[in-house]
Each structure stands twice: as C-alpha cells, then as structure tokens.
C-alpha cells in the first residue's frame, strides 16, 4: 500500500541580528546639553542658599543651647551658694567659669574647643565665646566700682525685670587661653552709656583692638550671626548676637533691636537698672 509523502517542513523564520532591529540611537545635540546644564545650574542656585541657611540656623540653635546650659550651670551654682552668683574678682583672678567656681556645674570638659563654651559660628581656634555680665556678680569688684564715671549698678540679691537683664552673651574671643582663644570672662563695664556698649553712636572710643578680628567699638561680636543681607562688614556692630537672660530664656538680637538711631539703648535688654537713666 502506497503511503503518501509527508508535507515538507515550513521554512525556518529568518533571524536578524538584534542590532538591526533597534532604532539607531540619537545623540544629544549641543543645544540640548546646554539646556540640561542650565536647568541643573538653576536648581543648584535655588537649593544652595536654602542649604546654607539651614546650616546657619542649625549653628545658631547650637549656640543658643550652649548659653542655656551655661545659665543652667550658673543657676545650680547659685542654688548651692546661698542664692548668689560667683563673685568675679578680677584682681584675685576669681571668675565664674573656673574649675574651682561654677565650671563643674556647667561642663566637665571645661573651657576647651568645641565644648559648651564655644559657639559653632565663632572663628576656628576659639575655646570660649561667651562672657558673663559683670553686674550679675554677687560681690562688687574694686576694679569696676573704681571706674569714673560710674558704669552700672550691681543687681543685688533681688533683681527686678529678670526677662530683660543680660546674664550671658557673645563677645570677641581674643585672649590666648590654654586650649585656644577665649572671650573675656566679664563684659559690661566698658562705655559710659548702655547704648555705647551695644555699639550705638561712636560706641567704645577709642575702639579696642580685639585681635585677631581687629578694632571694634563694641565688645559684642555682632558679626558672628550676621545675615548675608546685612550691610555690616568686618567688626562693625551690625548683625546679631545671642543673649541669655536672667529668667532663663535665650534670644537672637539684632543691633537694631538693642540700640536706636540716636545711639541710645532701646532698653530691650539691660546690663543693669542703671541703663534706664543712662541709655
């Protein structure tokens, strides 16, 4: 019996190299590359100021936290010493932040670089960025009370207006200390009016030399937190500083909040009640 032949197998499909099936790649033109680069540059220009501002704000918050911790330490010292702040006697070398005084209440590290005594916005090499208001001292210092004309009034045991009285503030870190440059232990006795201390009018005259920053007519380091939009340059008393007050709060104050156009204190912040008669 004759069997029919099998139908022929269908031809195998033609296989083409994948490279032949792909659409040819199109390179970016020079104009397109320039547009992309321009967009990236624009985005960076928008983001960088925001990042810089965030970092600056973070450093300022750390500075304020430092001042709060210092004031807390001083409060603990006061509670254990008959409700009195340190005496601060310059001739005897007795000051608030020493290890034999209130230093251990504030920080076990002591006055060292990067410690609670150092503002992160202070120039490299600083170990103490803050000073205590001399008029908060519990005992009169002959080196201060002997100044003519009178420069202020000691607070005494029951000071009024605690939300206005300056306890700790930022000043120039200019003295050579054991671990770096240090701000003066005390502040508030230079100048014959409260406004001069804030740099109002002619400020301190002649202006002291706060090496390595230069001459300045205020002991307050306003340049430390000076915003980029500020017209101040160098050591001019234009900008902002952090102030810790007797009631425990800390605030960033601009020069415009502290002194008026006539060079007088606005009485927003007081060195002592003497300021009201000598703004």
In a domain, 150, yes or no: yes
φ, ψ of residue 165 to 5 degrees: the values are -80, 125
> Does 138 map to a domain?
yes
Is residue 145 domain-resident? yes
pLDDT of 40 strictly over 60:
yes
Mean pLDDT computed over 109-117: 90
Residue 114's φ and ψ, nearest 5 degrees, are 80, 5
Asked whether residue 249 is assigned to any structural domain, the reply reads yes
In a domain, 82, yes or no: yes
pLDDT at residue 126, rounded to an integer: 94
Residue 232 belongs to some domain of the structure: yes
Q: What distance in Å separates the CA atoms of residue 202 and residue 215, rounded to the nearest whole number?
A: 13
Rounded to an integer, the average pLDDT of 151-173 is 95
In a domain, residue 188? The reply is yes
Predicted TM-score (pTM) of this structure: 0.82
Q: What is the pLDDT of residue 7?
A: 64
Instruction: Please give the pLDDT value at position 50.
Output: 62
From residue 9, give the alpha-carbon distance in Å to each of 85, 250, 260. 107, 92, 103
Average pLDDT over residues 103-109: 92
- For residue 77, the enclosing domain spans 31-277
Instruction: Say how many domains are in the chain.
Output: 1
């Amino acid at each position: 019996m004759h069997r029919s032949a099998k139908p022929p197998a269908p031809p195998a499909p033609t296989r083409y190299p994948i490279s032949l099936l792909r659409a040819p790649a199109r390179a970016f033109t020079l104009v397109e590359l320039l547009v992309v680069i321009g967009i990236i540059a624009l985005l960076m220009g928008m983001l960088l100021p925001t990042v810089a501002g965030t970092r600056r704000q973070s450093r300022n918050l750390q500075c304020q936290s430092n001042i709060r911790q210092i004031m807390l330490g001083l409060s603990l010292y006061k509670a254990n010493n008959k409700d009195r702040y340190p005496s601060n006697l310059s001739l005897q070398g007795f000051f608030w932040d020493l290890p034999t005084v209130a230093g251990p209440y504030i920080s076990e590290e002591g006055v060292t670089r990067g410690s609670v005594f150092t503002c992160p916005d202070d120039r490299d090499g600083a170990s103490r960025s803050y000073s205590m208001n001399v008029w908060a001292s519990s005992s009169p210092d002959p080196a201060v009370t002997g100044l003519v004309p009178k420069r202020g009034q000691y607070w005494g045991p029951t000071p009024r207006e605690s939300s206005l009285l300056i306890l700790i503030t930022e000043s120039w870190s200019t003295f050579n200390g054991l671990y770096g440059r240090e701000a003066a232990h005390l502040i508030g006795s230079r100048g014959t009016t409260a406004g001069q201390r804030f740099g109002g009018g002619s400020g301190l005259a002649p202006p002291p030399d706060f090496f390595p920053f230069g001459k300045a007519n205020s002991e307050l380091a306003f340049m430390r937190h000076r915003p980029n939009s500020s017209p101040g340059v160098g050591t001019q008393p234009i900008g902002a500083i952090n102030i810790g007050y007797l009631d425990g709060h800390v605030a960033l104050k601009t020069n415009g909040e502290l002194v008026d156009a006539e060079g007088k204190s606005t009485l927003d912040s007081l060195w002592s009640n003497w300021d009201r008669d000598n703004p």
